[in-house]
């Protein structure tokens, strides 16, 4: 598979170069050149395939030539070492639980896959790679865990001071080894802007090989298509696969865009819903046709506090940059924190299910869509375990949550982070490192 830059001013590259570079030299996101549908029989017989087999078949064309088949099989098996259950709330709404991985966030899948790909590319290479990642909450922990101990890869995580939950902060600041956390005096957008600036900073480029583990990186982004296929398989087993709609709590829009790649592979999906908090540039765009970026605002679903979603440009490309085509496949709603709290409470009292704030936003997206399309079956993605947002969830449902083992294990560890005020101090830190 070849990848081209969406800015169209850089040369095409193969999968390995797209992964190692992260962003194209012209600052554009890489996009797969020619996506071939999977045979119809794949979807007809999907209930007979294991998750490993599904994932391998689906991702193969995207990495072809860069990684041999038997290595890819191993990478897929190592990546997917946990379950992806679909839980029914009522006849029209289910949730796809994506939080059974090591850091209890859906980003575990992409992070584990990308780390293993980089590990493979580096096997015979003495040149170290530095992975830069900006996190609004969950990416940092998932990347830290996924990359821990991978040879030849150093990970530098930037997170906004005071704007991630305590558990999230522990997950990304307590591992040590090849993982360093930088605590930035600013917002997620500031962190992301610093990472983007570093990638085009000639002095840094000469000093070290930099790449990104945000969803701009194709190895982080694409494997997220797996669990849409797993959900489809489970729904087919339950005879609920007709008129499937996915509601995806969205921040950088990588996850939802991966779902659209699954659709491009031939998976029958009726519609996508981008469910947002008050960071609602896409909701407003679909309504008015004007893409009016605003600075991010802080909410209780902090992993979606993104003012300018990086992957939206990929979604537009997938829909031939045509507004009407996009609107026929994608709706978007946004919800305030107050409404989200009410939804958390409603999900608990009506269905006995404990959601996290991101999942609750997804649930609200389902409800809004079902008002106009009452016969659809809407699956909202539960993108993080509720205990990662302990304060909010316990206060709303007035119940003490039981901490899972993965979470308990990090709570007693000691935080280590380096304070960063601005781009210059970030750059000085990187230049001081002999990776």
Q: Which residues bind ligand PLP (CB under 6 A)?
A: 105, 107, 137-139, 215, 249-255, 303-304, 358, 383-384
Q: Measured from the CB of residue 19, what is the shortest distance to ligand PLP in angstroms?
A: 18
Between residues 92 and 383, which has the closer beta carbon with respect to ligand PLP? Answer: 383
Torsion-angle region of 46 (φ positive above 0: left; ψ -120 to 50: alpha; else: beta): alpha
| CB of 108 or CB of 201, closer to ligand PLP | 108
Residue 401 CA neighbour count, 13 Å, CB half: 23
Residues in the chain: 435
Shortest spacing between CB 122 and ligand PLP, in angstroms: 26
CA distance 108 to 166: 18
| Residue 50 to residue 175: CA distance in whole angstroms | 33
Distance CA 189, CA 169 (A): 17
Q: Which is nearer to ligand PLP, 19 or 361 (CB)?
A: 361
Closest residue to bound ligand PLP by CB: 138
Task: Write down the least CB distance from residue 383 to ligand PLP, Å.
Answer: 3
Nearer to ligand PLP, 64 or 308 (CB): 308
Beta carbon of residue 97, minimum distance to ligand PLP (angstroms, whole number): 12
Residue whose CB is less far from ligand PLP, 66 or 384 = 384
Q: How far, in Å, are 24, 87, 96, 138, 344 from residue 354 at the CA level?
A: 41, 11, 13, 19, 7
The residue (of 32 and 101) whose beta carbon lies closer to ligand PLP is 101
User: Which one, of 139, 87, 55, lies nearest residue 384 by Cα?
Assistant: 139
In b/e form, how buried is each residue of 238-250, taking b as 16+ CB within 10 angstroms? eebbeebbbbbbb
The DSSP code sequence of 163-189 is -S-HHHHHHHHS--TTEEEEEESS-HH
Rank residues 165 and 211 by Cβ distance to ligand PLP and give the closer one: 165
| DSSP-based three-state secondary structure for 202 | helix
Shortest Cβ 377–ligand PLP spacing (Å): 21
Q: Tell me the closest approach of the beta carbon of residue 310 to ligand PLP, in angstroms.
A: 8
Least distance between ligand PLP and beta carbon 248 (Å): 7
In this complex, which beta carbon is closest to ligand PLP, that of residue 240 or of residue 358? Answer: 358
Beta bridge partners of residue 331, listed in sequence order: 273
Token couple for 253: 């829009």
| Rounded Cα–Cα distance for residues 335 and 307 (Å) | 15
**CA neighbor of 383 nearest in space, from 173, 81, 84, 165:** 84
Residue 223 or 249 with smaller CB distance to ligand PLP? 249
Give the relative orientation of helices 166-173 and 138-147 as an angle to the nearest 10 degrees. Answer: 30
Under a CB-based contact definition with an 8 Å cutoff, are residues 340 and 301 in contact? Answer: yes
Shortest reach from residue 205's CB to ligand PLP, in Å = 26
Nearer to ligand PLP, 138 or 201 (CB): 138
> Least distance in Å: CB of 309 to ligand PLP?
7
Helices 107-121 and 138-147, packing angle to 10 deg: 40
CB of 28 to ligand PLP, least distance (A): 19
């Amino acid at each position: 598979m070849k990848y081209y830059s969406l800015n169209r001013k850089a040369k095409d590259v193969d999968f390995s170069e797209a992964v190692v570079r992260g962003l194209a030299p012209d600052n554009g996101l890489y996009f797969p050149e020619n996506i071939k549908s999977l045979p119809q029989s794949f979807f007809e017989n999907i209930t007979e395939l294991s998750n490993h087999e599904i994932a391998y078949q689906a991702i193969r064309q995207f990495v072809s030539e860069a990684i041999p088949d038997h290595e890819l099989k191993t990478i897929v098996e190592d990546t997917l070492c946990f379950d992806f259950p679909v839980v029914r709330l009522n006849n029209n709404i289910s949730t796809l639980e994506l939080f059974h991985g090591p850091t209890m966030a859906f980003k575990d899948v992409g992070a584990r896959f990308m780390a293993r790909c980089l590990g493979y590319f580096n096997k015979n290479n003495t040149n170290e790679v530095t992975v830069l990642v900006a996190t609004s909450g969950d990416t940092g922990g998932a990347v830290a865990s996924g990359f821990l101990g991978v040879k030849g890869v150093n990970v530098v995580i930037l997170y906004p001071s005071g704007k991630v939950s305590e558990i999230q902060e522990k997950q990304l600041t307590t591992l040590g080894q090849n993982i360093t956390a930088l605590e930035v005096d600013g917002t997620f957008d500031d962190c992301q802007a610093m990472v983007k600036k570093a990638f085009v900073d000639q002095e840094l480029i000469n000093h070290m090989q930099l790449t990104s583990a945000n969803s701009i990186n194709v190895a982080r982004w694409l494997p997220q298509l797996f669990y849409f296929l797993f959900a489809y398989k489970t729904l087919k087993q339950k005879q609920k696969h007709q008129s499937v709609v996915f509601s995806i709590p969205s921040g950088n829009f990588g996850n939802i865009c991966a779902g659209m790649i699954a659709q491009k592979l031939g998976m029958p999906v009726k519609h996508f819903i981008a469910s947002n908090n008050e960071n609602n540039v896409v909701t407003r765009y679909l309504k008015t046709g004007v893409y009016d970026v605003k600075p991010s605002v802080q909410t209780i679903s902090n992993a979606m506090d993104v003012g300018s979603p990086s992957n939206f440009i990929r979604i537009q490309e997938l829909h031939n940059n045509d507004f009407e085509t996009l609107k026929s496949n994608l709706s978007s709603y946004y919800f305030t924190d107050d409404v989200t709290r009410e939804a958390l409470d409603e999900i608990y009292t009506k269905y006995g299910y404990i959601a996290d704030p991101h999942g609750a936003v997804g649930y609200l997206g389902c409800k809004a869509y079902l008002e106009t399309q009452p016969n659809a079956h809407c699956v909202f993605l539960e993108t993080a375990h509720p205990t990662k947002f302990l304060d909010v969830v316990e206060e709303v449902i007035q119940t003490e949550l039981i901490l899972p083992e993965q979470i308990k294990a990090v709570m007693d560890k000691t935080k280590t982070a380096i304070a960063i005020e601005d781009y210059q101090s970030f750059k000085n830190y990187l230049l001081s490192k002999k990776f």
